[in-house]
Structure 1
Amino acid sequence: MGKVEEEELIRLSNVDKEKGQLNGWNRVAPCPRHRPRLLAKHGRTLLGIEGLPHKWRNDVRNWFHLLIECSWSFVLFLFSIGYLGTWIFYAILYFIIAETKGASTNESRCITEVYDFASAFLFSMESQHTIGYGTRHMTTECPIAYFVLMTQCIIGVFVQTMLGGVIIAKVLRPKKRKQEMRFSDVAVIGPVDEHDRRPALFIRIADIQEKLFLAESHVRLYIAQNKFAPNGDKILVGLRDMNVGYDSGWDRVLLLWPVMVRHVIDEHSPLYGLNEEEMREKDFELIMTVEGIVEATGMTFQARTSFLPEEIVWNQKHGGAVSAFQTAAAMLSLWDEQLWLPGNTTWEDLASPAYPQRNDFMFTLAIGFLMLVGRILIESFVFLPIGWLGGWVEGPLSSRILSHICGGFAGKSQFKKVAECAYRFTYYLCAFTAGYFVLRTEPQLASVVDCWRNWPMHEVSAKVWWYYQIETGFYWGLLFSQLFFDIKRKDFLQMTLHHAITILLLWISWSMNMVRVGTLILFSHDAADILLELGKLFRYAGWDTALAIDFVVFFFLWTGTRLIYYPFYVVRSVIFEAPSYLMDNFSWWNLTQRPIVARALLVMLCLLVVLHVVWTILILKIAQSFSMNGGAGVDDVREDSDSEDDDKKKKKE
């Protein structure tokens, strides 16, 4: 054992009796078994002041701050009573004035239209808050009423200012912020570090709030101890400061992660000269405070805790906490590469403009809004004039256009249904045509497995970029119109779920550069939608022969794209072929294996298959109706009625 370690052992074991006496410790009078705390662990003071003359008078003088410290329930109760009390008090005065100074005619009364307590209460409330009198107002007949009104204005301003100030001060005070400070349950005593073997007291503090940072935070450590006079009397010495680095700047802490506060037990320490057994017999309490400034409000707060001798552990150290904080922060990151990319790829690898950028997807919201506005304009200035020229729309054309722009686009009329179908038919036809010209040179159209080869290093051309953005914007527009404008059909929930899943699929596929499989899904879905909307137009026009031909072609095209190509080519490739290209030994069942988001993509692709099956059942019902009616008068089973007039007829029936 070295000389320094031997000296420290002697100091801690208190071989030298004089060292303990220097700090006032008397070993003859041990501490009682039950130690009353001066400060609770959460920081509340447990001492009360007795014998103070006129204590209640001092409390009343500081009434504002006492109100701030009251509970929210009491403050809200006082807030309500303050207003109701002034309203009722002055309502009583106004009612008395109106009754005692009243007159037979309304013009000669002190307060017009005040005949009972209810009208007096309304007049009192209107006067105090300057809402406006209306028919109730004060006349020049009673000067006493002027004085009552002036006092109410003055007292009303005081009440509003006081109660409003209490509410604002209570909201802004950092009481909740200090509750987010955490102290270790125990303090430990051990060597400073592996090189410095001097004993030290360690207390760990942490700020669990990750978004509201503290400025100018610093710590203090005090000891409240009792000493014994030579005659044996017990003396409460009070607080004594314990050095936690204020002379070297260690007391100022940056609470971005858990921090260890250290007090070296040297000749200047109040704990100097005590060993473990003797420390547990002494009557003292360590009090730690943390002060800081809340950046959001600029207000200062103080958090406190305390440690009794039995809450001080020797020859131990606090466990690690920083690594746990870092792991939790990483798990909360939305764009963690582990969620989106394979193991050998980073976001920096996809930073080139040749690859999809995550921020580009924000353009789809603007495109969706523009397409929604464009739809209203096309319905108003293209489809309405066509219907008017064909004799299908009655009335003056200009008034019909103005009515449609001002809200008719969200109505329930026959033209609304026709215009809605015509717009979708036009879009699907253009989108399918554009999709063919965009994808005919892309490898995934000929082989689905090319969606996964060399993923995610798939460059996106300008035409694919625009195709994806416009298609996604269109589905945003459909979702907005489905929720707020379009006619609510029986498949409203399925359609809303379909649009939401489609947008989420497109966002995920764009973010992780699975654009190739996304283009295949869009292209295959647009084909059947063309004939679906065209068939609706034939139905509304009453062209049964064209409707019958369209329905037969649509049914085969729907079956081929939605029930054969999509599930047995696209989804099958995702389940069985994609894993071997995504990562080595990739398995869909290993939920923690990267990329994790790919599993959400698979789940939503399967949900689309379920929706296709549900819609196929509806189509089969239409086919049954089609065959029973001999190919005429096919109704859309999703619709309750064709127009508002139909609804009225059904209600009468």
Structure 2
Amino acid sequence: MEALLNEWLWREEFWLPPGISWKDTHLHEDQGHFPLPRDLLYTLPLAFAFIALRYVFERAVAVPLSRCLGVKDRIRIQAPSIPKLEAFYKQKSRQPSQTEELALSKQCGLSQRRIQTWFRHRRNQDRPNNTRKFCEASWRFVFYLIAFVGGLGSLIDTPWFWDQRECWRGYPKQPVASAHYWYYMLEMGFYLSLLLSVSVDVKRKDFKEQVIHHIATLFLIGFSYCANYVRVGTLVMLVHDSSDILLESAKMLHYAVWTRTCDSLFVVFALVFLVSRLVVFPGRVIHTTLLVSLDFFQPFFGYYFFNALLLVLQALHIFWAYLILRMVYKFIFKGKVERDERSDEESEVDENEDEDEDRKDKEDEVDWRQKKEMSNSNLTSLAHNCVLNNLTNQRNMNSRMPKAR
């Protein structure tokens, strides 16, 4: 297996510039640590450790914090227990077609409108509440804050933080400091934990883009570490963490219904995001990996692959920037941030539609009751009229009888 990996995966032309072999990257013990692919194996237990730590954090810290900030969960109508509909919901589909609704209506002896209402209430039961979304946002906020502060503290004294040409000076024979090693391991372990838990997390409108982002980030971190692009890789992670802190904090305030503070913080996040992702990232990071690096080595497979991943991230940045600019436009001209543009809303069915449907059901029920009461009142008045008519006729007959006699 090792010979096969060395022959196909760890080929020098994939990972190193032309004219450089793996032997040239060996460092003496006094020179520092050279990044090795086997180091990435530690990220898997770190990912499971992050999942366990998140479980404890959400219950011990995030839930009490949500109560202190006033996060309230919406009261949802519980769907009645109907075994046939429950089996169809779990095994076949959460949103049956019209033909399936008619079939279920015949099986259960309910109207099609009742079937639609049951499935809507059942979907609402599985929809995550505000407390759960607050806990998820608070967990990410804490990690991004710690990662950004730790990453900035480890990079601010490095020469490549101020001059990106230093990222390539002496490449690939560049030692990795222990602080940058742990920065890499923790970041990759965290994103791996997000990818492992994506199926149970809140499903968002940009779900596909988030999955692509996590996969591209893992490939980017893993490949940059193996190819010793650690210096520029630390800059990439720092740029991303800077705006993610503000985004997650804005989400937390949104769930706590601190509307004014949330909208103001979102505007700050939008400015930081646009500057860091659309100016600093392409102008500093991609520029140095795509153009400046060619002054130090000739292009090879790793050069093209690494830059392709960076361009994928940049395409996602442009997509998110478009959504953010739409939100900022609505905030400026309408005075508030519209809910349907936020990336933290579910992608299945808008809850506003469900509320409208519930309102229609209640209105229909009220109308039916009003019609029933009106019909009852009409019947009552009709009966009263009949009684009055009978009494009147009886009196007239009694008054005429003496005359006839």
Give the TM-score normalised by the residue count of structure 2.
Answer: 0.68
Residue of structure 2 in register with 1:649 after alignment: 355
Please state how far the C-alpha of 1:537 moved relative to its aligned partner: 1.5
For 1:530 and 1:579, how far apart are their aligned partners in 2? 34
Please state how far the C-alpha of 1:462 moved relative to its aligned partner: 0.7
Residue of structure 2 in register with 1:618 after alignment: 323
Change (3 A) 1:390 1:547: closer
What code does the residue aligned with 1:492 have? F
Matched, 1:494 2:199: no
| Bigger-Rg structure (1/2) | 1
Q: 2:45 aligns with which of 366, 369, 379?
A: 366
Deviates more, 1:426-435 or 1:384-393: 384-393
Change (3 A) 1:411 1:351: farther
| 8 Å Cα contact 2:282-2:314 kept in structure 1 | yes
Change (3 A) 1:647 1:354: farther
Matched, 1:387 2:66: yes
| 8 Å Cα contact 1:413-1:644 kept in structure 2 | no
Question: What number of residue pairs does the alignment pair up?
Answer: 301
What code does the residue aligned with 2:317 have? H
Change (3 A) 1:644 1:373: farther
Matched, 1:430 2:146: yes
What code does the residue aligned with 1:481 have? S
Change (3 A) 1:438 1:330: closer
For 2:336 and 2:312, how far apart are their aligned partners in 1? 33
For 1:454 and 1:340, how far apart are their aligned partners in 2? 16
Change (3 A) 1:538 1:641: farther
Q: 2:235 aligns with which of 491, 511, 520?
A: 520
Q: 2:12 aligns with which of 337, 358, 370?
A: 337
Matched, 1:534 2:249: yes
Residue of structure 2 in register with 1:242 after alignment: none
For 1:627 and 1:389, how far apart are their aligned partners in 2? 30
Change (3 A) 1:597 1:386: same
Once the two structures are superposed, residues 470-504 of structure 1 have per-residue CA deviations (whole angstroms, 9 ceiling, x without a partner) of: 0111111111222x111111111111001100110
Higher helix share: 2
Q: 1:597 aligns with which of 287, 302, 305?
A: 302
Change (3 A) 1:393 1:383: farther
Change (3 A) 1:603 1:644: closer
Change (3 A) 1:492 1:633: closer
Please state how far the C-alpha of 1:342 moved relative to its aligned partner: 2.1
For 1:537 and 1:523, how far apart are their aligned partners in 2? 22
Change (3 A) 1:634 1:346: same
For 2:128 and 2:285, how far apart are their aligned partners in 1? 38
For 1:365 and 1:338, how far apart are their aligned partners in 2? 27
Residue of structure 1 in register with 2:100 after alignment: none
Please state how far the C-alpha of 1:546 moved relative to its aligned partner: 1.2
Q: 1:348 aligns with which of 12, 23, 47?
A: 23
- What secondary structure sits across from 1:578 in the alignment? helix
| 8 Å Cα contact 2:13-2:301 kept in structure 1 | yes
Residue of structure 2 in register with 1:442 after alignment: 158
For 1:532 and 1:598, how far apart are their aligned partners in 2? 32
What code does the residue aligned with 1:378 have? F
Once the two structures are superposed, residues 421-479 of structure 1 have per-residue CA deviations (whole angstroms, 9 ceiling, x without a partner) of: 11111111111101111101222110111111110111111111111100111111111
What code does the residue aligned with 1:546 have? T
Matched, 1:463 2:179: yes
- What secondary structure sits across from 1:522 in the alignment? helix
Once the two structures are superposed, residues 64-86 of structure 1 have per-residue CA deviations (whole angstroms, 9 ceiling, x without a partner) of: xxxxxxxxxxxxxxxxxxxxxxx
For 2:6 and 2:41, how far apart are their aligned partners in 1? 24
| 8 Å Cα contact 1:548-1:632 kept in structure 2 | yes
| 8 Å Cα contact 1:418-1:537 kept in structure 2 | yes
Please state how far the C-alpha of 1:516 moved relative to its aligned partner: 0.5
Q: 1:504 aligns with which of 219, 224, 234?
A: 219
For 2:342 and 2:57, how far apart are their aligned partners in 1? 28
Matched, 1:550 2:270: no
Please state how far the C-alpha of 1:642 moved relative to its aligned partner: 11
RCO comparison, higher one (Cα < 8 Å, 6+): 2
Please state how far the C-alpha of 1:541 moved relative to its aligned partner: 1.6
| 8 Å Cα contact 2:66-2:256 kept in structure 1 | no
Change (3 A) 1:634 1:413: closer
Change (3 A) 1:534 1:510: same
For 2:5 and 2:294, how far apart are their aligned partners in 1? 25
| 8 Å Cα contact 1:354-1:460 kept in structure 2 | yes
What code does the residue aligned with 2:214 have? H
Aligned pairs for 1:241-256 within 5 A:
none
Please state how far the C-alpha of 1:573 moved relative to its aligned partner: 1.4
| 8 Å Cα contact 1:622-1:635 kept in structure 2 | no
What code does the residue aligned with 2:192 have? W
Change (3 A) 1:528 1:341: same
| 8 Å Cα contact 1:625-1:634 kept in structure 2 | no
Aligned CA RMSD, in angstroms, stands at 2.7
For 1:369 and 1:521, how far apart are their aligned partners in 2? 24
- What secondary structure sits across from 1:333 in the alignment? helix
Residue of structure 1 in register with 2:134 after alignment: 418
Change (3 A) 1:392 1:356: same
| 8 Å Cα contact 2:33-2:177 kept in structure 1 | yes
Residue of structure 2 in register with 1:77 after alignment: none
Residue of structure 2 in register with 1:239 after alignment: none
| 8 Å Cα contact 1:443-1:450 kept in structure 2 | yes
Matched, 1:376 2:82: no
Change (3 A) 1:391 1:547: closer
Please state how far the C-alpha of 1:647 moved relative to its aligned partner: 7.3
Unaligned runs of 5+ in 1: 1-210, 212-325, 395-409, 588-594
Change (3 A) 1:454 1:351: closer
Once the two structures are superposed, residues 396-424 of structure 1 have per-residue CA deviations (whole angstroms, 9 ceiling, x without a partner) of: xxxxxxxxxxxxxx961111111111111
Please state how far the C-alpha of 1:382 moved relative to its aligned partner: 1.0
Aligned pairs for 1:12-411 within 5 A:
333-352=8-27, 354-388=33-67, 392=71
Change (3 A) 1:460 1:505: same
For 2:312 and 2:248, how far apart are their aligned partners in 1? 23
Unaligned runs of 5+ in 2: 74-125, 361-405
- What secondary structure sits across from 1:605 in the alignment? helix
The percentage of aligned residue pairs carrying the same residue is: 31
